[in-house]
Amino acid sequence: MTAARARSLFVSLLAGATAVLGAAPAHADGYRYWSFWQAPAAGGSWTYATQGPATLRPADGSVVGFRFAVSKDSADAAKPRGAADFAAVCAGTPAEDGGKRVAVVLDFGTPADAPAGETPPAARSACAKVGADGSAADALAAVAKPLRYDSNALLCAIAGYPRTGCGEKVDEKADAGKKPAEPKAGGNDKDDDGPSVGLIGGIAAVAVLGAAAVWQTRRRRRG
């Protein structure tokens, strides 16, 4: 290898290492809270509700969902993992005059998002029967007591979970070090998305140092 080629390799590897190391995700804070979702009466995908549970009045045959998780905002919020399927949830509940049925899907989240010392209950669904003018909050109260709200009417707990806290700010980086990461689908605890940024950066750094050593050796031999 000529000195020029070694120098070119050194520069290329250094640039690659810089790009890889610079790709590490930025640290960001989030909030631990219950997000509110809805789906049309005919079924379909979850959409983030534009109204609160107390003001939204779903039609008979609608589906509402609640998910407990840590997220930065509505765009980042995790959707309920249960299907938005009214027929499956309320199949055994007949319609009644003067009332309506609302399928309620509850996703208590993952251990990684749980407050310290708490374990999320298993996800579940229930068919709520409320009055014709009933709100989503009424439907929730019919199937998931006890509920807890703060002084600003923010929903803090469903079915008693979590026991404390309400929309508190969470340092995601520090919080991740306290709880094990949630296993990926399929039960494989290993990271199936490829090597970590740190590993790639380390390999690139070793390659850079190796190229530098080759270059210096070539220079000394020719000196």
- Return the minimum-mean-pLDDT range out of 106-115, 194-203, 212-221: 194-203
Q: Mean pLDDT, to the nearest integer, of 13-26?
A: 38
Of 7 and 195, more confident: 7
Whether the predicted model's global pTM rises above the 0.85 cut: no
Residue 64 contacts residue 103 (beta carbons within 8 Å)? yes
- Those residues whose C-beta lies under 8 Å from the C-beta of residue 66, and which sit 6 or more positions away, are 34, 35, 36, 37, 80, 104, 105, 106, 107, 140, 155, 158
Share of the chain above pLDDT 90, in %: 56
Residue 97 — pLDDT band, cuts 50, 70, 90? very high
**Dist. CA 181–CA 110, nearest whole Å:** 9
Confidence category of residue 174, pLDDT binned at 50, 70, 90:
low
CA dist., res. 19 & res. 13, Å (int): 10
pLDDT (0 to 100) of residue 43: 67
pLDDT at 220: 46
Share of the chain above pLDDT 70, in %: 63
pLDDT in tens, 183-214: 333 333 333 333 333 333 333 333 333 444 44
